Amino acid sequence: MKNTTSSAERMAEDSRGKTDGINAQPTKASHVLHRSLLADPATVVSASGSYINLSTGQRILDGCTGAAVAIIGHGSEEVQSAVRDQMAKVSYAHTLAFTTSAAEDLADMLLRNKPHGLCKAYFVCSGSEAMDSALKLARQYHVERGQPQRTRIVARQQAYHGNTIGAMSVGSNVARKAPYMGVLTLPNVSHVSPAYTYRSQLQGETEESYAARLVQELDHEFRSLGPENVMAFVAETVCGATLGCATAPRGYFQGVRRLCSQYGILLILDEVMCGSGRCGTYFAFEQEGDGVYPDLLTLGKGLGGGYSPIAGVLVHEKVVGGLRQGSGSFVHGHTYQAHPVACAASLAVQRVLERDDLVRRCAVKGEWLEGALRRELGGRRFVGDVRGRGFFWALEFVADKASKEPFSPEVHFSGRVRDEAQRLGLAVYPGTGTVDGTRGDHIIVAPPYNVSDAELEDVVRLLKEAYEVVEKEVAAEMTP
Ligand SMILES: *Cc1c(COP(=O)(O)O)cnc(C)c1O
């Protein structure tokens, strides 16, 4: 209980932080239940390209696209016109009896040529719903195949999969789960170590042997549960908000895939944050080596690019086949699933991605971004690690680089970098609890894929300026 209160207070404190002046609000009390009851967020009045404009007149360069969402930036004319056209044609159709060309065309585009055996798409409104849908598909698949004893789910520590009860249960973001533990969490979930090279690869251990050690731990977990009792293993291909852009060591996902196939356990890859091109390939798992594929894959943030609340599960033909030979229908459904306007917006976003070759740009300019972050910030006193892929990068902050000792949460290091950056006109995405759910700080940089070269340089420059201010302040607080 005490824990809960202090984390809530910390969150309030974080958001109150030092944003006075930025958050000048009308005096009337808001009727919106904001994330914090103690401070109102700034009001966005318009947004276009890589910039967000606030009611105070401040213009902010969007260096993180919210939470890695606005992949083609803000205000796209193409998306606006696609949404208008769809609204004029058909704004809603219930999926029990109907489908629309918007949903069909979006699924066609994503699953053209059956990528890696993925052959059906299930569209919902959020990444959390997509994760719950994937879990239900996994469960129903085993039930229909006469294996109802498969009730166990294995996931990883320091993972975020969403905030609905199912998604939160497989996730392990300590702060977001604390008040609900044991009451609104599923009991049939266990967690193994994440792939966290910076802190967990041992001295003298190669990347491959670190990967092998993690796979062995997973094998041990499967065996101790009885592999015939496990329905799915769930992982973010590249970790997102909780661990901060941590990539797996070479060979890890190949080992994971082998184990899952060997035991008949379904592999659910959560690419809500790292997918849709964010890492420089459309699916993040495509960089994990030959033979790696998911049985179920979730997409979200970049799927709608912020233009519509949409997420999806892409389903492997094996799972579709299992259901087809069983009851022939997925026992699930939502009022707004495959919503035509949401699908039309998403389709327009995906078309811009393809037309402008933006995933490739993300890969190419991502290398520049990596170099710039390492050069400008990697050597700094409190920057312990720079990691990521494509346009998905994190800096992990530590109080002591040699021992990797994190800051105590009271320092609010990442929150202060975020606040300072925002004051300077840059949005970055902060994270806390990086190390163990309680301690540790990182910030995520995730610009739009079509950010201009000059804007990208500004992202790095402003971030460096913000970091320097906080470094100076915190260094002064540390000297007794
Ligand atoms: C954001 C996120 C989710 C949840 O998506 P919502 O749209 O916020 O429900 C799930 N998984 C990952 C990896 C995410 O980053």
Q: Give the pLDDT confidence of 163-175 residue by residue, as tens digits.
A: 999 999 999 988 8
pLDDT at 5: 37
pLDDT at 175: 83
Distance 399 CA to ligand 1 centre (A): 29
Instruction: Determine whether the shortest distance from the Cβ of 126 to ligand 1 is under 6 A.
Output: yes
Average pLDDT, the chain: 94
Residue 396 has pLDDT above 90, yes or no: yes
* Burial class for 430, CB neighbours closer than 10 Å (0-12, 13-18, 19+): buried
| Ligand 1 atom having least distance to the Cα of 159 | 13
Residue 249 has pLDDT above 80, yes or no: yes
pLDDT at 28: 75
pLDDT at 27: 57
Tokens of 240: 């997102």
- Which tens digits make up the pLDDT trace of 423-475? 999 999 999 999 999 999 999 999 999 999 999 999 999 999 999 999 999 99
Instruction: Determine whether the shortest distance from the Cβ of 269 to ligand 1 is under 6 A.
Output: no
What HEC string does the chain produce? Answer: CHHHHHHHHHHHHHHHCCCCCCCCCCCCCCCCCCCCCCCCCCCEEEEEECEEEECCCCEEEECCHHHHCCCCCECCHHHHHHHHHHHHHCCCCCCCCCCCHHHHHHHHHHHCCCHHHEEEEEEECCHHHHHHHHHHHHHHHHHHCCCCCCCEEEEECCCCCCCCHHHHHHCCCHHHHHHHCCCCCCCCEEEECCCCHHHHCCCCCCHHHHHHHHHHHHHHHHHHHCHHHEEEEEEECCCCCCCCCCCCCCCHHHHHHHHHHHHCCEEEEECCCCCCCCCCCCCHHHHCCCCCCCCEEEECHHHHCCCCCCEEEEEEHHHHHHHHHCCCCCCCCCCCCCCHHHHHHHHHHHHHHHHCCHHHHHHHHHHHHHHHHHHHHHCCCCEEEEEEECCEEEEEECCECCCCECCCHHHCHHHHHHHHHHHHCEECEEEECCCCCCCCEEEEECCCCCCCHHHHHHHHHHHHHHHHHHHHHHHHHHCC
Residue 248 has pLDDT above 60, yes or no: yes
Instruction: Determine whether the shortest distance from the Cβ of 237 to ligand 1 is under 6 A.
Output: no
**Which residue CA neighbors atom 10 of ligand 1 most closely?**
161
| Ligand 1 atom having least distance to the Cα of 164 | 9
For 116: left if phi > 0, alpha if psi spans -120 to 50, otherwise beta; the answer is left
- Which tens digits make up the pLDDT trace of 132-161? 999 999 999 999 999 999 999 999 999 999
pLDDT at 19: 43
Q: How far apart are CA 119 and CA 104, in angstroms?
A: 12
Residue 6 has pLDDT above 60, yes or no: no
Tell me the C-alpha to C-alpha distance, in Å, between residue 27 and each of 23, 24, 33, 40, 285: 11, 9, 16, 11, 48
Tokens of 269: 């890859």
Share of the chain above pLDDT 70, in %: 94
**Which residue CA neighbors atom 5 of ligand 1 most closely?**
127
**Which residue CA neighbors atom 11 of ligand 1 most closely?**
161
Distance 28 CA to ligand 1 centre (A): 32
Is the pLDDT higher at 224 or at 21? Answer: 224
Ligand 1 pocket mutation, candidates 236, 283, 301, criterion most atoms within 8 A of CB: 301
| Ligand 1 atom having least distance to the Cα of 236 | 13
pLDDT at 295: 98
pLDDT at 479: 82
* Cα angle, residue 374 at apex, residues 372 and 380 outer, rounded to 5°: 120
- Which tens digits make up the pLDDT trace of 316-355? 999 999 999 999 999 999 999 999 999 999 999 999 999 9
Distance 446 CA to ligand 1 centre (A): 15
pLDDT at 447: 98
Residue 15 has pLDDT above 60, yes or no: no
* Rg for the chain, CA atoms, rounded: 22
pLDDT at 369: 98
- Which tens digits make up the pLDDT trace of 294-304? 999 999 999 99
* Cα angle, residue 409 at apex, residues 408 and 413 outer, rounded to 5°: 90
* Burial class for 476, CB neighbours closer than 10 Å (0-12, 13-18, 19+): exposed
- Which tens digits make up the pLDDT trace of 64-107? 999 999 999 999 999 999 999 999 999 999 999 999 999 999 99
pLDDT at 477: 95
**Which residue CA neighbors atom 15 of ligand 1 most closely?**
273
Residue 403 has pLDDT above 90, yes or no: yes
Going by C-alpha positions, the residue among 268, 275, 266, 327 that lies closest to residue 301 is 275
Distance 479 CA to ligand 1 centre (A): 40
Look-up of token digits 């920057």: 383
Residue 195 has pLDDT above 50, yes or no: yes
| Ligand 1 atom having least distance to the Cα of 131 | 10
- 22 pLDDT band, cuts 50/70/90, is very low
CA of residue 290 relative to chain centroid, distance: 24
Instruction: Determine whether the shortest distance from the Cβ of 236 to ligand 1 is under 6 A.
Output: yes
Backbone phi, then psi, for 23, in 5-degree steps?
Answer: -95, 40
| Ligand 1 atom having least distance to the Cα of 300 | 7
Residue 26 has pLDDT above 70, yes or no: no
Q: What is the mean pLDDT of residues 183-201?
A: 97
- Which tens digits make up the pLDDT trace of 201-234? 999 999 999 999 999 999 999 999 999 999 999 9
Task: For 51-90, give one letter per residue: b (16+ CB within 10 A) or e.
Answer: bbbbeeeeebbbbbbebbbbbbbbebeebeebbeebeeee
* Cα angle, residue 299 at apex, residues 297 and 300 outer, rounded to 5°: 155
